[in-house]
C-alpha cells in the first residue's frame, strides 16, 4: 500500500502533467468531489440467477440491514449517500420510521422501483396485460409506490417492465402499447409534483419473442407521451452486443430526455457484473458524453447515477465499492479530455489526432488524484482495502448467518 508521501509525490507529478496539457485541475477536483452514485438495496441481499440463489452468510437479511450495508459503502467511498429501494422486496410497515432510520445511518432513500414482474398474476404482463383487473393491480402498485415516494422523500420512480410475449400471435402489439401508456400515465400523474419517472428498457428477457419496452427509442416515445417529467433510464447491461451506448447517451441528452443510469457490466445476457470490469473504455466513452453536457452552460440535464448489480459470487459490499471506484475512474478520465482540442481536431478532419486525444486521457493514471481527494475528505485512499481491514464482513456473517430473510433472494 502506498504511503501518504508516495501518493503526494505521484499526485504532484500528475497535476504538473495535467496543467501542462491545459487541464483546469481545480475544476476537475471540484467535479470529482461533487460526484454522487446511488447503490441498490437489492445489491446487498441474497440474489441469484434464474438457475438458483446463492446465499452468502454476510448478506443483509432485511431492508434495515440493506440500508446498513449501503451506509457502510458510503462511509468508505464518501460518494454514495442514497439507496434505491425495490417494492415489495423492501416493503416495511412504517415508511416514516425507515426514513428516520436511514437518516440516522447517514443515507437517504433514493429511487423507488416498483416491482411489476414477480406476482403470479403478471405471467402475461403487468401494465400490458390483456385483463383489465391485472392492469388495475399494476396501477395500484404504481400508486402505492408514489405514496412511498411521498413519505420517504424520494423524487424518482424508476420503472422497468418485464412485459412481452413469447409467441407470435400471443397478443396484439398496438393494443399492448396503448395499455402500457394508460397504466404508466396513472402512475406518472400520482407522483409528487417535483418527481420524475425514469423509464428503463431491456432488449429481451424474460419474454423472448417480443419485449414491450425493448430499446431507448421505445422508452423515449413512452416518455414523450407521459410528460416532461418522464425520462429514459439507460441500464448499461440492457443492450445487444456491439450497441454503441455512448451514442444513445448523446442522443438522449440532446433531446433532454436522459434521466439516469443503471450501471453494471454486460457480457452476453448478464447485466449484473461489476461496472467497468470488462469494458472500462465503454464507461469512459459514456462519461465523455456526460462531461460534454456538464460543460454546456445551457444544460438542463439532471442525471441520476445509480448502480444496478446483484452480485452472486462476490461479497456484495466489496463489489459495490469496486464498482464505485471504477465509475470514479471513468469520470476522472473523461474530465481531463481537452474538449477544445478535440473540437479543433474534428474541424481539421484530423481523425487520428482526435482519437489520440481521447486515448491520451483514457490512458492517464488518475488514481493519485482520486486517492488524494479521498485523503483530503478524511477517507482511506483505498476504500476497498480499508473495508477488507475493517472486519465488517466477518461481523455481519456472525450476526446474519441465521434468522428470517426478506427480499428477492429470500
Ligand atoms: C431488470 O433486469 C433490472 O435491470 C431492473 O432495473 C430491475 O428493477 C433490476 O434489474 C433488479 O432486478
Ligand atoms: Mn436496471
User: Is there an atom of ligand 1 within 6 Å of 257 CB?
Assistant: no
User: Is there an atom of ligand 1 within 6 Å of 47 CB?
Assistant: no
Q: How far is CA 301 from CA 27, 80, 253, in A?
A: 19, 20, 7
User: Is there an atom of ligand 1 within 6 Å of 262 CB?
Assistant: yes
pLDDT value of position 255: 98
Cell digits of residue 176 = 399492448
User: Is there an atom of ligand 1 within 6 Å of 272 CB?
Assistant: no
Residue range 65-84: mean pLDDT, rounded: 98
DSSP string, 162-212: --EESSTTSS-HHHHHHHHHHHHHHHHHHS-TT-EEEEE--SSSS-SSEES
Question: Is residue 49 over pLDDT 90?
Answer: no
Cell digits of residue 159 = 420503472
Ligand 1 atom with minimal separation from the 162 CA: 1
CA gyration radius, the chain: 22
* Exposed/middle/buried for residue 48 (C-beta within 10 Å: 0-12, 13-18, 19+): middle
- Distance CA(23)–CA(315), nearest Å, equals 37
From 308, 310, 312, 316, mutation site for ligand 1 pocket: most ligand atoms within 8 A of C-beta: 308
104-113, 224-233, 259-268: which range is least confident on average? 259-268
Band of residue 271 on the pLDDT scale cut at 50, 70, 90: confident
pLDDT value of position 408: 73
User: Is there an atom of ligand 1 within 6 Å of 163 CB?
Assistant: no
Can you give the length of the chain in residues?
A: 410
Give the number of the ligand closest to the Cα of residue 262: 2
Q: Where are the beta strands (DSSP E) in 55-154?
A: 82-87, 108-114
- Say how many Å lie between the first and final Cα of the chain, rounded: 38
Question: Is residue 269 over pLDDT 80?
Answer: no
Cell digits of residue 367 = 488514481
**Nearest C-alpha to atom 1 of ligand 1 is from which residue?**
160
Sign of the CA dihedral running 275, 277, 278, 279? positive
pLDDT value of position 406: 83
Q: Where are the beta strands (DSSP E) in 236-382?
A: 258-263, 265-267, 270-273, 304-307
Ligand 1 centroid vs 169 CA: distance in angstroms? 27
**What tens digit of pLDDT does each residue of 206-242 get?**
999 999 999 999 999 999 999 999 999 999 999 999 9
Give the number of the ligand closest to the Cα of residue 43: 1
Q: How far is CA 317 from CA 76, 155, 244, 307, in A?
A: 10, 25, 30, 12
Band of residue 270 on the pLDDT scale cut at 50, 70, 90: confident
Q: Note the Cα 395 to chain centre separation in Å.
A: 28
Question: Is residue 54 over pLDDT 90?
Answer: no
**Nearest C-alpha to atom 11 of ligand 1 is from which residue?**
308
- DSSP β-bridge partners for residue 82: 108
The percent of residues above 70 in pLDDT, for the chain, comes to 100
Q: Using the 8-state DSSP alphabet, how is residue 274 labeled?
A: P
User: Is there an atom of ligand 1 within 6 Å of 69 CB?
Assistant: no
- Distance CA(36)–CA(25), nearest Å, equals 19
Cβ pair 335, 63 in contact under 8 A: no
Q: Can you tell me which residue has the cell 404504481?
A: 142
Considering the chain, what is the average pLDDT of its residues? 96
Question: Is residue 409 over pLDDT 80?
Answer: no
Give the number of the ligand closest to the Cα of residue 40: 1
Residue range 350-379: mean pLDDT, rounded: 98
- Distance CA(191)–CA(142), nearest Å, equals 9
- Distance CA(317)–CA(335), nearest Å, equals 27
Band of residue 20 on the pLDDT scale cut at 50, 70, 90: very high
Ligand 1 centroid vs 254 CA: distance in angstroms? 26
Residue range 90-109: mean pLDDT, rounded: 98
Band of residue 190 on the pLDDT scale cut at 50, 70, 90: very high
From 39, 200, 266, 269, mutation site for ligand 1 pocket: most ligand atoms within 8 A of C-beta: 200
In 3D space, the residue among 106, 113, 81 whose CA is nearest the CA of residue 310 turns out to be 113
pLDDT value of position 165: 98
Amino acid at each position: 500500500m502506498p504511503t501518504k508521501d508516495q501518493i503526494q509525490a505521484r499526485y504532484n507529478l500528475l497535476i504538473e502533467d495535467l496543467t501542462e496539457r491545459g487541464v483546469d485541475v481545480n475544476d476537475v477536483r471540484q467535479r470529482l468531489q461533487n460526484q454522487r452514485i446511488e447503490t441498490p438495496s437489492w445489491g446487498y441481499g441474497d440474489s441469484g440467477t434464474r438457475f438458483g440463489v446463492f446465499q452468502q452468510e454476510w448478506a443483509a437479511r432485511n431492508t434495515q440491514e440493506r440500508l446498513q450495508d449501503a451506509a457502510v459503502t458510503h462511509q468508505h467511498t464518501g460518494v454514495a449517500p442514497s439507496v434505491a429501494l425495490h417494492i415489495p422486496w423492501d416493503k416495511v410497515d412504517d415508511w416514516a420510521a425507515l426514513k428516520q432510520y436511514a437518516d440516522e445511518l447517514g443515507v437517504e432513500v433514493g429511487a423507488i422501483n416498483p416491482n411489476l414482474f414477480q406476482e403470479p398474476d403478471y405471467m402475461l404482463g403487468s401494465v400490458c396485460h390483456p385483463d383489465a383487473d391485472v392492469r388495475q393491480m399494476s396501477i395500484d402498485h404504481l400508486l402505492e409506490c408514489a405514496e412511498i415516494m411521498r413519505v420517504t422523500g424520494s423524487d424518482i420512480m424508476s420503472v422497468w417492465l418485464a412485459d412481452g410475449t413469447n409467441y407470435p400471435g400471443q397478443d396484439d402489439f398496438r393494443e399492448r402499447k396503448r395499455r402500457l401508456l394508460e397504466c404508466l400515465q396513472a402512475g406518472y400523474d400520482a407522483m409528487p409534483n417535483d418527481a420524475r419517472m425514469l423509464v428503463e428498457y431491456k432488449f429481451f428477457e424474460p419474454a423472448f419473442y417480443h419485449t414491450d419496452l425493448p430499446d431507448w427509442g421505445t422508452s423515449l416515445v413512452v416518455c414523450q407521451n407521459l410528460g416532461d417529467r418522464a425520462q429514459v433510464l439507460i441500464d448499461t447491461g440492457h443492450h445487444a452486443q456491439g450497441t454503441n451506448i455512448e451514442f444513445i447517451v448523446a442522443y438522449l441528452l440532446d433531446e433532454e430526455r436522459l434521466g439516469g443510469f443503471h450501471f453494471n457490466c454486460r457480457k452476453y445476457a448478464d447485466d449484473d457484473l461489476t461496472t467497468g470490469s470488462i469494458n472500462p473504455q465503454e464507461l469512459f466513452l459514456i462519461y465523455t458524453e456526460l462531461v460534454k453536457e456538464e460543460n454546456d452552460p445551457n444544460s438542463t440535464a439532471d442525471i441520476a447515477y445509480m448502480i444496478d448489480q446483484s452480485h452472486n459470487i462476490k461479497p456484495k459490499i466489496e463489489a459495490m465499492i469496486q464498482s464505485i471506484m471504477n465509475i470514479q475512474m471513468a469520470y476522472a478520465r473523461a474530465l481531463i479530455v481537452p474538449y477544445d482540442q478535440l473540437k479543433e481536431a474534428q474541424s481539421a478532419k484530423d481523425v487520428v489526432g482526435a482519437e489520440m486525444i481521447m486515448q491520451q486521457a483514457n490512458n492517464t493514471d488518475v488514481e493519485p488524484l482520486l486517492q488524494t481527494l479521498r485523503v483530503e475528505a478524511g477517507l482511506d485512499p483505498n476504500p476497498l482495502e480499508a473495508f477488507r481491514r475493517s472486519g465488517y464482513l466477518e461481523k455481519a456473517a456472525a450476526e446474519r448467518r441465521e434468522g428470517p430473510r426478506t427480499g428477492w433472494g429470500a
